[in-house]
Chains A and B, each alone.
Chain A
Amino acid sequence: MSDHHTNDRRGFLRCMAWAGTGALWTVSGGLASSISLDQAAAKPAQAKGFTFLQISDSHVGFAKPANPDAKATFQEAVAKIIAMPVKPDFIIHTGDITQLSKDSEFDDADQIIKQAGLTVFNVPGEHDMLDEGQGKAFLNRYGKGTKGAGWHSFDHKGVHFVALINVVNLKAGGMGSLGAEQLQWLKDDLAGRPSSQPIVVFAHIPLWTVYADWGWGTDDAAQALTFLKRFGSVTVLNGHIHQITQKVEGNVHFHTARSTAFPQPVGGQGPSPGPLKVPTEQLHSMLGITTASFVRGQDQIALIDATLAS
């Protein structure tokens, strides 16, 4: 990497001051509003409902200038979960658990996340499909009871969770892909559910087009969203782009989480979607985790992003 590129990335970083802030989003009846984290913290803990945690893009095994020890920052993120005053019911990991799908990397990731003592639901990122079997290593570990490349769904306290895989069988020139078989499964999985049931969909690559030139989207996501349209509360949680982005479309709230390994540039605002090298003292403010809270009876979903620096 030439100095020229490094300077570009550093220069770009000055535009990223927003990335260290957290916001609480509430969605009700398709209207979104946000209040600051301080206000959120002042609210009493929700006695009913539940929280779960999203962690993403841990890239265990990554050890390059953007983060010489991604294992250590993943460990820090898990320590934050352990320290939470209200224990989340479970964790979802939205992919790129490892850097190169090595057994040793999966082993390290498992050892770290299991310290939280919570059930973990995983979807693979493209970095978790690099074994000889192109995803067999992932499925052997996390695929029990799942279909296809690992898609599955479950209910938790009245909320329906759907794990989608959009990192397999990608086509030249395309973006993420769900594929006809998975789309049919999704249609069947949602059929017959009351439109009042809150739905949470999670997948690695964003299910809306964040930046097409860098492949930050899913080619056939629109079809999946037609099945979700009739539901009153849909939350879509993704990773892959190592930064927070959000969008509300009708009753669907899209959100991407930070990575625990390294940040990436805003789409189109850097030389490539590769790791963004930032000064060491800034790294922790650009890594983080997301907490999602459901408030019973209010049909509200609140997402709180916290950095590893906070």
Chain B
Amino acid sequence: MAYKIISSQCTACSACEPECPNVAIYEKDGTFVINPKKCTECIGYFDDAQCVAVCPVDNTCVIDNSYPRYQAA
């Protein structure tokens, strides 16, 4: 249902924040986090998850397996 940011790898560059179509990303304690309740994996907006595409550190924005995958309504 959602992406998450691995905080130990996040450089806090903020590139993902304005790209998120759901405004689900915000800064918290020097790193960026995704609100899983708002994240739609960009389904319905873009072909690719925007946070993944723009993040300068590969494998930092990843699917959070503790949530079921997002289903478009």
Decide if A and B are genuine partners.
no
Spell out B's residues near A (CB within 8 Å). Answer: none
**Which A residues are within 8 Å of any B CB, using their own CB?**
none
